[in-house]
Structure 1
Amino acid sequence: MDPIDAYIRVPRPSAVMVWTPEQTRLFLEEAGRHPLFALYRLITLRGLRRGEACGLRWKDIDLDTGAASISWQLVQLAGRIHEGKPKTDASMRTIALDAETVTILRGHQRRQREQQLAAGEMWKGTGFVFTQSDGDRLHPQHVSDQFLWLAYLAGLPPIRLHDLWHGAASLMLAAGVEIKVVQETLGHTSSAFTADTYTSVFPQVAMAAAEKTAALLLGEDEGHGTLRHLRA
C-alpha cells in the first residue's frame, strides 16, 4: 500500500482537526525545504484558503508595505482548473504580512525569476506567485498532495490542508489576536461565525482577556494613585 494512502486512512476523531503550535512548527520546518514553502506558510499563518493561495498574483502583493490583496482564486472542478473571484464578498480582503513572510516571498520571487530565465521562450507568463516550473498555473490538488507528503515526512498526525486554514484561526486566537481581526484575516462573514466555529479555542482567549482586564485593577500603588486622581 502507498504510505500516503495508509497515512490518510488513520481514523479521525473529529471532522475538523488542527495541529498544536509545536506540531505546526514541525510542519513548517519540514516544508522549509519545499518549493511551495511560501504558499504553505501563508495558509498556516495568514489563513489563505487553498484556492486563494494558488490564485495569488504578484500584482496583488506589495512586499514593501507587507500587504496582500486576496481577490482571485483557482478552484478544481471535475479535474479542471477554473479561475475566478473568491466565493464571498468577505473573502475579498487585504491581509498583513509579517516581516519573515515578506523575506520568504522575496526569496521565492528570485527563484521564480531564475526559473523564467531557464525556461526562456517556454515560460508561461501567468503572473501567479506560485506556479509550475514553466510558469503555468498550479493544480490545487497537487498542493494538497504535497501537503500530505510533507506532513507524513514530519511524522505528524494526518489532517487535511483545509484544516491548516482552520489552524491559522486557532493560532491567531491563542496568540490573543482580536476576534474581529481574525474574522477579517480569514474572510469570514462575521465575527460571530468566527467565534462559533472556534468554540474550543475562543473560551481560552476570552478568559485570558478577562484576566488581563482584572489585572488592570491590581497594579502598583502608583497606578491606584492615578485612578484616584482621575476620579477626582
Structure 2
Amino acid sequence: MGRWSYRKKEMEVWTEDEVRRFLYAAESHRIYGAFHLAVTIGMRMGEILGFRWSDIDFTKRTLSVSQALSKAEKGYMMQEPKTKSGKRNIALSLSSLVILERHKRVQAAEKLRAGSMYQDQGLVFASGVGTPLGARNFTRVYHSLRKKAGVTQINFHSIRHTHATLMLKQGVHPKIVSERLGYANISITLNTYSHVIPGLQQAAVDNFDDALFGSKPVDKKAMVEE
C-alpha cells in the first residue's frame, strides 16, 4: 500500500497552463534553459546537469544523451546510462534550439568575466566558473521558481512525467514517448501513464468515428429499401 501511495504522489503533473506559468517565472534565471529542456524533452536531472555542448547537433536538431551527473564520495562524477535505451538521441524543438543558443551566449559572457578562473568542462549548464551544478543547489533553485510561479507543488522529476503526460494527451504515439524518456520498452510507458490511456481511447474512438462517418448522417431509410 505504501509503495502504491508513493507512486500516485510522484505522478502528480502540471497542466499546460502551469507549465507556461512556471517557464514565465523562470525566464530571467541564468539556467532557464535547463528548466525549458526539462519541460520540452523530459530529461532526468542528472542528464540535464551532465550533458555537454558536444552532445548537441544544431543542424540535425538532436541532443545525444550519453551520461549523467551523479554525486561521488568527493564531489561529482559522470555515469553512463544504466540501460541501453537510456543512451539515446532526442529530437529538439525549434524553441529549444533558440533557448540553447541564447544560453550559449550567456555562458560565453560568463567565461569572459571569470577569465582564468573559468574551468571549462564543456557542460551546457554549469556554475558561473564552469564547474558542475550540484543537484541540491539545482533543486533549491527549482523550488524557489516553482513557488514564485504559484503552481502545484511537484518534485523536479515529475516535470519529466508532465512532459510524457502532455505528449500522450496530444496524441503522440507511446513508442515515441518511450524513446524520448529512455524507457527500456513501451510497456513501461503504458503502465506508468495508464492514467492517461482512458482519455486517449475516447479521443481515438471519436477521431475514428469522425473519419469514417464525418458529419454525414447515416441514411437508415436507404438501408432498409436496399
The TM-score bracket by the shorter chain reads 0.7 to 0.9
Q: Which residue, 109, 112, 118 being the options, matches 2:107?
A: 112
Shift of 1:16: 2.8
Against the structure 1 CA distance between its residues 220 and 158, is the aligned structure 2 distance closer, same or farther, given a 3 Å change threshold? closer
Contact kept, 8 Å, 2:40 with 2:96, in 1: the verdict is no
Mapping 1:135-174, distance limit 5 Å: 135-174=130-169
**Partner of 1:71 in structure 2?**
66
AA at the equivalent of 2:166: L
Contact kept, 8 Å, 1:30 with 1:154, in 2: the verdict is yes
Alignment RMSD: 1.8
Q: TM-score, normalised by structure 1?
A: 0.85
Output one character per residue of 1:171-203: Cα deviation in whole Å (capped at 9) or x when no partner: 111111110000000001111110110111122
Are 2:124 and 1:129 equivalent residues in the alignment?
A: yes
Shift of 1:49: 0.2
Q: TM-score, normalised by structure 2?
A: 0.87
Q: Which moved more, 1:55-64 or 1:76-85?
A: 76-85
Give unpaired runs (5+ residues) of structure 2.
Answer: 1-6, 217-226
Mapping 1:219-230, distance limit 5 Å: 219=214
Give unpaired runs (5+ residues) of structure 1.
Answer: 1-11, 222-232
User: 1 CA distance for matches of 2:9 and 2:205?
Assistant: 29
Are 2:202 and 1:207 equivalent residues in the alignment?
A: yes
Q: Which residue, 51, 55, 58 being the options, matches 1:56?
A: 51
User: 1 CA distance for matches of 2:179 and 2:8?
Assistant: 29
Q: How many residue pairs end up in the alignment?
A: 210
Shift of 1:136: 1.0
Q: Which residue, 26, 29, 39 being the options, matches 2:24?
A: 29
AA at the equivalent of 1:92: K
User: 2 CA distance for matches of 1:145 and 1:23?
Assistant: 19
Runs in 1 of length 4+ with deviation above 4 angstroms? Answer: none
Shift of 1:78: 6.0
Percentage identity across paired residues of the two chains: 33
User: 1 CA distance for matches of 2:74 and 2:167?
Assistant: 33
